[in-house]
Amino acid sequence: MFNLRKASRVVSRRYEQEMKASGLLPTQFSLLVAVRLMGPAPMTELAAALSMDRTTLSRNLRPLLREGCLSLDACGPDRRRRLIRLTPTGEERLRGALPCWQRAQESVEGVLGPGRLERLLADLAGLITGLDTPGRAGTPTTGSRSVEGTAPDNPSRGGRP
């Protein structure tokens, strides 16, 4: 398992390097993609889709809300329920960051090759499903809405954030 954690850090570092020019962190890019794919969503659903707890999601949302990339709007008669929405500014930032994300994807695919990358992504999806199942010991029991398999790690051909 040490290699899995190490690989995660190395890949994260590559994405951070490539994304630097966009002014977005990889986690921020993934959040923007998830909101774009899900449409307006409550925090609980967005957190579940990204396998994040609400506290981590809130911390990652703050700069995007402050910069006007996302909005947090009251929904319906219960003004306490809030939906996270992608703004035109967020859409523009997402489009601008896409080439950076694609370069990071291409560098990973360049090392693994397309076949190995697809197998790795499928294996990781299985791992996520197996470990992040609601009710399983040590996992969050938030909602079940997911963007898995739809959010782009290479938006031109589909994938995961």
Q: What string of DSSP letters covers 41-67?
A: EEHHHHHHHTT--HHHHHHHHHHHHHT
Interior angle at CA 112, CA 110 and CA 115, nearest 5: 105
Q: Is residue 38 part of a domain?
A: yes
Q: Is residue 160 part of a domain?
A: no
Q: Is residue 149 part of a domain?
A: no
Q: Is residue 56 part of a domain?
A: yes
- Residue 79: its pLDDT value, please? 66
CB under 8 Å to 143, separation ≥6 — which residues? 44, 45, 48
Q: Which domain covers residue 92, as residue numbers?
A: 2-131
Q: Is residue 156 part of a domain?
A: no
Q: Is residue 150 part of a domain?
A: no
How far is Cα 28 from Cα 142, in angstroms, rounded to an integer?
Answer: 21
pLDDT in tens, 87-100: 999 999 999 999 99
Q: Is the pLDDT of residue 153 over 60?
A: no
pLDDT in tens, 99-108: 999 999 999 9
- Residue 139: its pLDDT value, please? 43
pLDDT bucket at 77, cuts 50 / 70 / 90: confident
User: 74 phi and psi, to 5 degrees?
Assistant: -65, 150
- Residue 134: its pLDDT value, please? 61
Q: Is residue 66 part of a domain?
A: yes
Q: Is the pLDDT of residue 72 over 50?
A: yes
Give the CATH number, domain containing residue 17: 1.10.10.10
Q: Is the pLDDT of residue 130 over 60?
A: yes
- Residue 142: its pLDDT value, please? 40
